[in-house]
A = this chain, B = another copy of it.
């Protein structure tokens, strides 16, 4: 059983990709909406919440954990690996690997929450592999609330994106990592503003592909012949109308969200 957690609904873009790539693996999702967002909070608080979420998923049978949140992946992965003995998969490494495969000029841009950019984890991981690269990072804290408001086509969102992407465009990056699981929902606005020659790396898709490879390489994990995505369970620590409508937008089908304490 695959356990996936996120601070809210953004991680559902990862869950959705996992359902498509690995339809025969049962999946448990936990969205910690009652305490979202994580990306504006301190490392200490994000680590504490991530430990609680992982415990919740393991208690319900998860045998591998996917941290479907860049902020939590950035600051809590090491601690989760110390605390828990099951495999912990984060969303940074898969995106870094994909970015390094795609870039030609070795100029890579990264956008993310404050916590993710402050951690500098993308730059560290990229430079560890290819010290000759240049990494330009920009925190984009307003994108999460804009996506959660459903403002994915508004003029104001386009202006804010232009402002955020300005320095990345100036730096002539040829690859841009969407370092937050909410950002794939803004891909259609980001691509024309950063330029059509820039390759966008979707950390949600990259993580799902990484997980597929991991499970294939690992004989401990075998798919179930009876399982289908409709049986996957989606837990949320809080439930409002906007959560429901964002979930249905991401999955393009009705999702039974189960509130938990």
Residues of A within 8 A of B (CB): 33-35, 40-42, 44-45, 114, 141-142, 145-146, 148-149, 151, 155-156, 159-160, 163, 237-240, 242
Contacts and interface: CB of A to CB of B under 8 A. Distances in A.
Given A35-B34, A35-B35, A159-B156, A148 B240 contact: no
Contacts of A160: 156
Contact of A33 (B41, B145, B159): B41
A163 B44 CA distance: 37
Taking the full assembly, how many copies of this chain does it contain?
A: 2
A239 B45 CA distance: 9
A163 B237 CA distance: 32
Contact of A155 (B40, B145, B149, B159): B159
A33 B42 CA distance: 10
A239 B42 contact: yes
A65 to B, nearest CB: 22
A41 B34 contact: yes
B238 A42 contact: yes
Given A34-B35, A156-B156, A40 B148 contact: yes
Nearest to A35: B35
9 contacts: A34-B41, A40-B148, A42-B239, A114-B242, A141-B145, A142-B142, A142-B146, A156-B156, A156-B163
Contacts of A149: 141-142
Contacts of A146: 142
Contacts of A239: 42
A60 B142 CA distance: 36
Contacts of A45: 34, 237-238
Contacts of A114: 240, 242
Contacts of A42: 238-240
A38 B225 CA distance: 43
Name the residue among A34, A114, A141, A237 with the largest chain B CB count within 10 angstroms.
Answer: A34
A84 B40 CA distance: 32
A37 to B, nearest CB: 9
Given A45-B34, A149-B142, A40 B156 contact: no
A41 B240 contact: yes
Contacts of A34: 35, 41, 45
A156 B160 CA distance: 7
Nearest to A239: B42
